[in-house]
Amino acid sequence: MNERLFSLKNRWFTISVGAVVLIAVLSIAVGFVWVPRVHGGATVDSLWDAICSAAGAPARYRNATPQGGKAIQPSDVIVNSAMMGPPDAGAVRRGTALAQQCSTCHDARGPAAAAIDAPRLAGEPASSTYKQLRDFKAGHRTNPIMQAMAANLSEQDMRDLAAYYAAQPRATPAARPDARPDVPRLVSNGAPIRNIGACATCHGAGVGRAATPVLDGLSETYLRAQLTAFRAGTRANDINRQMRNAAHGLTDAEIALVARYYASR
């Protein structure tokens, strides 16, 4: 037995090195490729992506690319405390005049307006309305009607319109016979196991969170459409993926439930 230990001629050496390499390759494949792929909601495009996400580095530089569509840039609106200040009377006055061109869709009641399904803006926080207008103008949120409308608005116009709508009272919808008085668990508690935050911590007339819309009394079809779009990633203008994270694990039934709940409030 005068064979050298570290030599490929040594059968035991070859077998043990081979086994170690095989185990390493297998665990890399399982840990970085297979597990992230099986894990619901994860999007892994390459091995490097998988290694980054396994190491906890967020893939924030990658744009949301809906299947078959082109990449949607996330919002570039920076939310700061200046947006939260009380509006001055001048802004509300200028906004009143500007809002004439919006009222056909956003204030009108009746079958024609209902068919367009434009969301209620009265009583929405100014920071939220302003951010949405900026996103439509920049193409970060897509909608043919609203992108065309926002294209003609200046920075000042958007601030004035936002101030005007924030100053309008929010109409409470008439109680519907099928309204659910009980708060769905998803709204009050979220679903911690699935990483879904409680909707009520961010949305709510009393929360006063910057650039976060109040959902109460928006139409059921609009709410459903937006949640489905966030879930699919076709609406991707939410800062830090706040809504895509909340919507990614929702089932169709849960979307229908929360949409009905908020619409009836």
User: Which residues make up the interface to ligand HEC (CB under 6 A)?
Assistant: 75, 101-102, 104-106, 116-119, 121, 129, 131-133, 143, 145-146, 149, 161, 186, 196-197, 199, 201-203, 211-213, 215, 223, 225-227, 237-239, 242-243, 246, 258
Q: What is the CA radius of gyration of the chain?
A: 25
CB-based contact 228:251 (threshold 8 Å): no
Cα separation, 157 vs 161, whole angstroms? 6
Q: Are 221 and 55 in contact (CB under 8 A)?
A: no
CB nearer to ligand HEC: pick between 36 and 184: 184
Q: Which is nearer to ligand HEC, 91 or 196 (CB)?
A: 196
* Other Cβ atoms closer than 10 A to 121: 23
Closest CA to 118 of 126, 131, 108: 108
Provide the minimum distance between the beta carbon of 96 and ligand HEC in the complex, in angstroms, as a whole number: 12
Q: Which residue has the tokens 């910057």?
A: 210
The distance of closest approach from Cβ of residue 211 to ligand HEC in the complex, given in angstroms and rounded to an integer, is 6
Shortest Å, Cβ 36 to ligand HEC: 24
244 close to 72: Cβ distance less than 8 angstroms = no
Q: Which is nearer to ligand HEC, 212 or 264 (CB)?
A: 212
- Least separation in angstroms between residue 60's CB and ligand HEC is 16
Q: Which is nearer to ligand HEC, 20 or 116 (CB)?
A: 116
Closest to ligand HEC by CB, 44 or 161: 161
The total number of residues written for the chain in this structure? 265
Query: Cα–Cα distance between 106 and 153 in angstroms, integer?
Result: 16
